[in-house]
Amino acid sequence: MPTLDVAADLLALLRDTDTETRADTQLEALTLAVAADLPVLLWGEPGIGKTAALNQLAEALDLPLTTVIASVHEPSDFSGLPVVGADPAVQGVPMAPPDWAVRLVRAGRGLLFLDELSTAPPAVQAALLRLVLERRVGALHLPPGVRIVAAANPRSSAADGWELSAPLANRFVHLQWTYEHDVVVRGLGGVWPRAELPRLDPAGLPGAVAHARRAVCGLLSARPALVHKLPGGETRRGGAWPSPRSWEMTLRLIAFATAAGTSREVLSLLVRGTVGDGPGLELLAALDRMDLPDPEDLLQDPAAAVLPERGDLRQAVLDAVVAAVRRHPARPRWDAAWALLARAAETGAPDLVVVPAATLAALRDHDWEVPVDIERISGAVALSQRAEREAAQGAAHAGAR
């Protein structure tokens, strides 16, 4: 047998790998964004596996993969080449699309992979705007079955790299692509994680949309400055930042994540990769607050109250209860709030009730009797105050030395 034939057999054995279902946060985020039909941009150092992940994703989803190296194309390769016909004054000059776009339209479905996006010059990036947002290449409109994923290296590690333009960056969901040691080792051993589209609950779709709209609209109503906030630096403009367009993308991602029962870690990657870290974290906090119990319900029946386990959420609930009493002060509501604080002190960290207790005490009318529940938490309050005084004294002594 010829030597090259033997070499081909060996190469075939090396390419013969298997996949398995296993938790992979960044892969789950990628597949959910693809399911939501949003363009995704993977950021990562060279050789980290971005292209391999896209090949595996296309194979797992049974989508033909079309790879286009953005940096080696001219702007006309995306906007179309003018073709002069017999009577351009009557028929106009059509913009002929490239062959890869024609193949995608003929197939009706596929995964378009725009590689090396950060090495594309500004003129090419400008030509990509219509492709990424409107799915148009020359005179062709890509069918709905085509998904777009791009990859880029940070400018520091890109060959002749450019910063991504703000208009192009704002059209993507940005995901930081890193490697996990265990995934790489097991993959080199022949088993890689399997990319799977999220399973959406058909019965929960209307509720998922309502939940997403309530979360995004609630945050932007309270924080109007976040609707559009173009970053100051060129580098930050090439990443995720909030705009009406990216908030609309975020709303879609929350709806898909809710319908799929996605973990908070995956949702965090997607939200922060669409509107940026600051606005994204504010939205995640708003989503947490949406799931908190109504303070009025807690005041109605404090003995049956179920308080959150997480300290920050429990603190938010207690603060909301005290704020509700402040808005409508009355003796029964004041007593009920003390009962809730006592319950919180007995079932969680006692120091969480210190600030709400001090605020609630200041709301007391002169003719209201001190409830028994105050005695149940007075020890916790006193202990916390003593600890604060001792910490302050310790800091003062350390500064004096």
If one counts every other C-beta atom within 10 angstroms of the C-beta of residue 349, the result is 13
> What are the sequence ranges of the domains in the chain?
17-81+94-193, 202-290, 295-400
Please name the helix (run of DSSP H) or strand (run of DSSP E) that holds residue 245, with its range, or none: helix 244-260
Q: Which residues pair with 175 in a beta bridge?
A: 42
- Would you write out the chain's pLDDT as a tens digit for each of its 401 residues? 677 889 988 988 888 888 777 778 999 999 999 999 999 999 988 888 788 888 888 888 889 999 998 888 888 888 877 776 666 666 667 778 888 899 999 999 999 999 888 888 888 888 898 899 889 888 889 999 999 999 988 866 655 667 888 999 999 999 998 878 888 888 888 888 887 888 998 999 999 999 999 999 988 988 899 999 998 887 788 899 999 999 999 999 999 999 999 999 999 999 999 999 999 999 998 888 777 888 888 899 888 888 888 888 888 888 888 988 998 999 999 889 988 988 888 888 888 888 888 888 888 888 888 777 776 676 655 555 554 555 555 555 555 55
> Which CATH class for the 17-81+94-193 domain?
alpha beta
Secondary structure letter of residue 293 according to DSSP: P
Closest CA to 235 of 174, 165, 171: 165
Please name the helix (run of DSSP H) or strand (run of DSSP E) that holds residue 174, with its range, or none: strand 173-176
Sorted by sequence, the CB contacts under 8 Å of residue 64 that are 6+ apart come out as: 58, 107, 109, 110, 111
Closest CA to 36 of 259, 198, 265, 256: 256
Token duo for residue 333: 């509501």
Q: What are phi and psi of 335, to 5 degrees?
A: -65, -40
Cα 286 from Cα 250, distance rounded (Å): 14
Cα 194 from Cα 182, distance rounded (Å): 15
Strands, DSSP E only, in 106-172? Answer: 109-115, 136-137, 140-141, 145-152
Cα 150 from Cα 171, distance rounded (Å): 11
* Alpha-helical segments (H) within 95-142: 99-107, 122-134
Sorted by sequence, the CB contacts under 8 Å of residue 222 that are 6+ apart come out as: none
